[in-house]
Structure 1
Amino acid sequence: MRTIDPARQQARRQQILEAAIACFMRKGFHATRTAEICAQASMSPGNLFHYFPTKEAIIAAIVEEDQRETAERFVAAGRASDLYQALLDIVDDSLRMLADPVYTRIGLEVLAEAVRNPEVFACVARGEEVRKAELARLLAAAVERGQARLALPPAQAADWVLLLLDGAFGRAMVEAHFDTAAYRALVLGALAAVVAPAP
């Protein structure tokens, strides 16, 4: 009996996801055929379907990987000595990603699919719940340490931060020359209405 190699399996999954992202970037989710993903990944259909039975499963895995990376950033932020600065770093990282066409295009494809597909919507919604909860936890901890002041309860302040970041994402989708630095100034200005460093 063949021994299962978890590292090799993970590498194959990642190979498929990277191939799918390349195909989705070229043609979009619905116009991409599974055969094109197989060709991009240099993999047979049977091998691909062993890891992902449908295209929807692939896009769900892309969402889950992004959510895992986001959760890791929040965990790292929670270990920082200055939690207010850690929040600003999260804002900066989020805005910096808007300059990445792969991030923005795939993000848009995911949101479009979430509108049509209840399973993808549920996956996105779960990730958003975690993102909001982790951000609220970070804000509450910053207040407890005396490093930040909030004009709203932590959960509502987290909503405000996410509203600003999601709004910037929306503008990056429709502006041909999205000015990250200019939007950073706008976001930080609006952020200060609800979250500020402790005096």
Structure 2
Amino acid sequence: MRTIDPAKHAARRQHIVQAACELFATQGFERTTTAQICKAAGMSSGNVFHYFPNKRAIFLALLQDDKDDKTERLARATAGADPWAALLDVVEFLAAPAAEPLTPPLVMEAMLQAHRDPELAGLLSQDSTDEHSVITELLTKAAAAGQIDPGLDPDHTASWVMALIASMYTSAATEPSFDPAGQLPTLLLIVQRFLRGEPSEHRSSAG
């Protein structure tokens, strides 16, 4: 029996996912064909289907591509000694990918497909729940440490922070003139003023 090299197998899967990424982002899931994915990956359909059973599996893998790194990053944030600094880091971490050209349209396409795919809807819902939980925890800790307005409800406030982050993606996907990278500092400043009521510079009061 031929031995499978885990690293090579993972690299091949990643290659297919990356080849499909631009197609899904520019054409959408429905209009992208497996033949197009095979051509973009430079592989036969037999090779592609050896790694993924169908087009949907590739799409799901693409959306979950950075899940482990994201989970680790959020876990580090909640374990940090300074919840205010960690909160700003999390907001920046979650919002920054909006500046990547393919990410906003992929996010919009995922939201569209979630209405038709219960499994995908569940994955997106779990991601949102995890993010909301971390932000709520950091807000609670920051309020207890006197770093933000203690009168803010952590759960409700987390929802508003996430709405601000989400607006980066929707604006980037729907407004050609919107510059996510240029708008990120403004987003961080809005969050700071919202939570603390002062125009402090990002990171300056976190140390």
Range moving further from structure 2, 52-61 or 91-100: 91-100
2:9 — aligned with what?
9
**Offset of residue 84 of structure 1:** 0.8
Matched, 1:63 2:63: yes
- Counting aligned pairs with the same residue, the percent is 36
1:155 — aligned with what?
155
C-alpha contact 1:13 1:51 (8 A) present in aligned 2 = yes
C-alpha contact 1:24 1:32 (8 A) present in aligned 2 = yes
Instruction: Tell me how far apart the structure 2 counterparts of residues 68 and 143 of structure 1 sit (CA, whole Å).
Output: 29
Aligned length: 198
2:110 — aligned with what?
110
Once the two structures are superposed, residues 137-180 of structure 1 have per-residue CA deviations (whole angstroms, 9 ceiling, x without a partner) of 23233344454444333322221211111123222222221144
Range moving further from structure 2, 142-151 or 125-134: 142-151
Equivalent position amino acid for 1:189 in 2: I
**Offset of residue 99 of structure 1:** 2.0
C-alpha contact 1:20 1:37 (8 A) present in aligned 2 = yes
Cα distance change, pair 186–136 in 1 and its aligned pair in 2 (3 A): closer
1:129 — aligned with what?
129
Gaps in structure 1 of 5+ consecutive residues: none
2:24 — aligned with what?
24
Once the two structures are superposed, residues 17-73 of structure 1 have per-residue CA deviations (whole angstroms, 9 ceiling, x without a partner) of 101102223422211110111122222222222322121111111222244343232
1:188 — aligned with what?
189
Cα distance change, pair 25–160 in 1 and its aligned pair in 2 (3 A): closer
Gaps in structure 2 of 5+ consecutive residues: 198-204
1:44 — aligned with what?
44
**Structure 1 ranges of 4+ moved more than 6 A:** none
Instruction: Tell me how far apart the structure 2 counterparts of residues 42 and 182 of structure 1 sit (CA, whole Å).
Output: 37
TM-score (norm 1): 0.83
Equivalent position amino acid for 2:193 in 1: A
Cα distance change, pair 192–71 in 1 and its aligned pair in 2 (3 A): farther
Instruction: Tell me how far apart the structure 2 counterparts of residues 134 and 100 of structure 1 sit (CA, whole Å).
Output: 24
Cα distance change, pair 25–171 in 1 and its aligned pair in 2 (3 A): closer
Once the two structures are superposed, residues 73-124 of structure 1 have per-residue CA deviations (whole angstroms, 9 ceiling, x without a partner) of 2123234442212221222333332221111121122112112222221221
Equivalent position amino acid for 2:53 in 1: P
Equivalent position amino acid for 1:6 in 2: P
2:140 — aligned with what?
140
Instruction: Tell me how far apart the structure 2 counterparts of residues 144 and 21 of structure 1 sit (CA, whole Å).
Output: 43
Cα distance change, pair 50–113 in 1 and its aligned pair in 2 (3 A): same
C-alpha contact 2:26 2:105 (8 A) present in aligned 1 = no
SS of 1:116's equivalent in the other structure is coil
**Offset of residue 132 of structure 1:** 1.3
**Offset of residue 191 of structure 1:** 5.4
Cα distance change, pair 152–159 in 1 and its aligned pair in 2 (3 A): same
**Offset of residue 183 of structure 1:** 6.2
Cα distance change, pair 100–88 in 1 and its aligned pair in 2 (3 A): same
